[in-house]
């Protein structure tokens, strides 16, 4: 007995290069909200299941022009920075942190303020098709827990980190952990609280060990966080080799790159996700691959703070590093992974060897750098799921029913026999958030375009 059955046409990644089309399939969803069975037209049960589930009102058939995509997985986002999204992008990373971002994040000591911003962000992300997000909150344990609770209440799958910033010299007095010991105590308590909350959250909420980045943490904090990650077997997240400044700071402090320094503290684990990674060396990449650590690619943000393009094709194909896509709100201005998919493709093309062989001999760029739209879609879906070691991001048996239903009516489709893979490309390049009709997480509808109102906006 299934919870319900959906009939429709869906697109889902099989691997980074290949997207499968499931035309007019039946998706049979279990009571727990996962895909129990996928039935192709013509298979023996196809008609009888439609009959049976229509009779008991547990059958949904998509209308003409509607398509199913897996929900997006935002692999790197700063929840408090939603309050400054789209602004403050005129400074490089170090000055941006001190001028805009730390003063903003300090305000999240006020749980009420945090709640307003977080509730609005989570509903906005859901409306944009993001069914799972890996969040940085702030240093404050209580308001970080509110973020996890809001994900739980709104039905989004959330992985949330209380941020650790304990270095007295590198962080402002008005915004940091009071002491190293307190930073670690708060992190441990936060892990326990979120694990408790997870017990009553069908879609899952998970605590994440979150040193902001090496410059903001003492050696003792980094070591203690590595120990907590191991003790509780939880996810880890941080920033890694993001900008020239951050990268050279770590080189000066440890005489090595971020990857090896993080690894020394036990922070490069199978369940770790490192954001940006624009300046990884070949040795760093080999270490990521060996440890099973994932990269969160943030192509919009990298244009501002990295002034560089992360070599995604190399990470994916030369090193088989698990890689997903992050909005990096507010270093990236857009909460939409559609926008980030587009930027991922465009940025990679700027890294490509761009020389027209017929007219020029000068070498420019690196051949093999560009990624396809299929690959960028993979990053936003299946790649994110693999990075988090969760059964999400794909339409496959035993994967969660985390989907977005897109309406293609307003896209430039003028013929009834438009190839489905062309429709897929038009959806990815041209959809607006308004084209997302419904969003489902773990078999529950969390957004219906015709009913949803945004939370808490002034
Ligand atoms: N490095 C340390 N903190 C941050 C942050 O908030 N955003 C980005 N993009 N990089 C960081
Ligand atoms: Fe970031």
For 34-80, what is each residue's pLDDT tens digit?
999 999 999 999 999 999 999 999 999 999 999 999 999 999 999 99
According to the model, what pLDDT value does residue 358 have?
A: 67
Confidence of residue 357 (pLDDT cuts 50, 70, 90): low
Centroid of ligand 1 to alpha carbon of 235 (angstroms): 18
Task: Choose the residue to mutate in 91, 239, 330 for probing ligand 1, maximizing ligand atoms within 8 Å of C-beta.
Answer: 239
pLDDT tens for 138-176 read 999 999 999 999 999 999 999 999 999 999 999 999 999
Residue 362 has pLDDT above 80, yes or no: no
Tokens of 322: 């698990």
43: its two tokens:
């298979």
Q: Which residues neighbour 246 within 8 Å (Cβ) at sequence distance 6 or greater?
A: 93, 94, 213, 214, 215, 239, 258
Using alpha carbons, list the distances in angstroms from residue 191 to 148, 205, 208, 331, 405.
11, 11, 7, 26, 34
Quote the tokens at residue 274: 């490192």
Q: How far apart are CA 423 and CA 68, in angstroms?
A: 12
CA 282, 283, 284 angle in degrees (round to 5)? 90
Q: What is the pLDDT of residue 355?
A: 66
In 337-392, which ranges are continuous DSSP H helix?
Answer: 337-351, 373-380, 382-388
**Ligand that comes closest to the CA of residue 96:** 1
Cβ-contact 424, 392 below 8 angstroms: no
Q: What is the mean pLDDT of residues 354-362?
A: 67
Q: State the Cα–Cα distance between residues 91 and 100, nearest whole angstrom.
A: 9
**DSSP class of residue 195?**
H
Q: Is the pLDDT of residue 129 over 80?
A: yes
pLDDT of 395 higher than 90: yes
What values do phi and psi take at 86, rounded to 5?
Answer: 85, 0
pLDDT exceeds 60 at position 458: no
Cα 27 from Cα 10, distance rounded (Å): 10
Task: Kindly state if the Cβ of 375 falls inside 6 Å of ligand 1.
Answer: no
* pLDDT grade for 214, boundaries at 50, 70 and 90: very high
Query: Which ligand does the CA of 98 lie closest to?
Result: 1
User: What is the average per-residue pLDDT within 179-208?
Assistant: 98
Tell me what pLDDT residue 450 has: 85
- Residue 308, pLDDT score: 85
Spell out where 178-315 has E strands. Answer: 205-211, 235-240, 272-276, 294-297
Pocket of ligand 1 contains residue 188 by CB under 6 Å: no
Determine the average pLDDT of the residues in 224-249.
95
Taking alpha carbons only, the member of 143, 150, 120 closest to residue 190 is 143
Atom of ligand 1 minimally distant from the CA of 239 = 1
Among 397, 430, 394, residue whose Cα is nearest residue 411: 430
**How many whole angstroms separate alpha carbon 154 and alpha carbon 453?**
12
- For ligand 1, atom 7: residue with the closest CA: 331
Residue with the two structure tokens 């001999």: 361
Please say if the pLDDT value at position 31 is more than 70.
Answer: yes
Q: Among 98-107, 166-175, 364-373, which is the least confidently predicted range?
A: 364-373
Question: What does the DSSP 8-state code read for residue 395?
Answer: -
Q: How far is the CA of 232 from the centre of ligand 1 (A)?
A: 25
CA contacts within 13 A on the Cβ side of 157: 30
Mutate to test the pocket of ligand 1, among 78, 81, 135, 244 (most ligand atoms within 8 A of CB): 78
Is the pTM above the cut of 0.95?
Answer: yes
Residues 386, 394: Cα–Cα separation, whole Å: 10
Q: Spell out the domains of the chain, with CATH numbers in brackets.
A: 4-70+394-456 (2.30.40.10), 72-388 (3.20.20.140)
Please classify residue 425 by burial: count the beta carbons closer than 10 Å to its beta carbon, then call 0-12 exposed, 13-18 middle and 19+ buried.
middle
Q: Hey, is 215 helix, strand or coil? A: helix
Protein residues placing their CB within 5 Å of the ion ligand 2: 275, 328
Chain-wide mean pLDDT for the chain? Answer: 96
User: 271 CB under 6 A from ligand 1?
Assistant: no
End-to-end CA, the chain: 45
């Amino acid at each position: 007995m299934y919870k319900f059955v959906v009939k429709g046409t869906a697109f889902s990644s099989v691997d980074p290069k290949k997207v499968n089309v499931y035309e007019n399939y039946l998706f049979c969803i279990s009571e727990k909200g996962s895909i129990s069975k996928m039935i192709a037209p013509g298979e023996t049960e196809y008609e009888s299941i439609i009959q049976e589930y229509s009779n008991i009102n547990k059958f949904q058939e998509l209308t003409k022009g509607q398509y199913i995509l897996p929900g997006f997985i935002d692999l790197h986002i700063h929840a408090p920075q939603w309050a400054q999204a789209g602004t403050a992008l005129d400074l490089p990373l170090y000055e941006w942190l001190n001028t805009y971002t730390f003063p903003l994040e300090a305000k999240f000591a006020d749980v009420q303020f945090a709640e307003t911003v977080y509730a609005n962000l989570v509903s906005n992300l859901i409306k944009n098709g993001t069914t799972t997000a890996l969040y940085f909150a702030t240093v404050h344990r209580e308001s970080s827990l509110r973020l996890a609770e809001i994900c739980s209440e709104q039905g989004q799958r959330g992985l949330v980190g209380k941020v650790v910033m304990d270095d007295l010299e590198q962080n402002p007095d008005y915004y940091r952990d009071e002491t190293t010991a307190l930073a670690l105590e708060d992190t441990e308590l936060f892990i326990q609280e979120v694990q408790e909350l997870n017990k009553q959250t069908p879609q899952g909420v998970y605590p994440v060990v979150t040193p902001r980045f090496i410059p903001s943490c003492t050696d003792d904090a980094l070591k203690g966080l590595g120990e907590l990650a191991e003790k509780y077997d939880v996810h880890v997240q941080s920033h890694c080799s993001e900008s020239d400044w951050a990268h050279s700071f770590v080189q000066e402090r440890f005489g090595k790159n971020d990857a090896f320094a993080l690894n020394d503290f036990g922070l490069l684990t199978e369940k770790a996700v490192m954001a940006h990674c624009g300046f990884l060396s070949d040795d760093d990449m080999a270490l990521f691959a060996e440890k099973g650590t994932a990269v969160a690619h943030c192509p919009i943000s990298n244009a501002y703070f990295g002034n560089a393009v992360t070599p995604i094709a190399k990470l994916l194909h030369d090193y088989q590093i698990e890689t997903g896509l992050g909005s990096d709100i507010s270093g990236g201005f857009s909460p939409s992974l559609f926008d980030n998919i587009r930027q991922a493709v465009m940025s990679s093309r700027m890294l490509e060897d761009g020389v027209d062989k017929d007219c020029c001999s000068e070498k420019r760029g690196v051949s093999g750098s560009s990624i396809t739209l299929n690959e960028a879609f993979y990053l936003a879906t299946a790649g994110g799921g693999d990075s988090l070691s969760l059964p999400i991001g794909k339409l496959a048996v035993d994967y969660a029913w985390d989907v977005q239903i897109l309406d293609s009516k307003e896209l430039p489709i003028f013929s009834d026999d438009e190839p489905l893979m062309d429709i897929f490309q038009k959806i990815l390049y041209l959809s607006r958030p308004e084209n997302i009709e419904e969003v489902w997480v773990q078999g529950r509808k969390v957004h219906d375009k015709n009913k949803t109102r945004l939370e808490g906006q002034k």
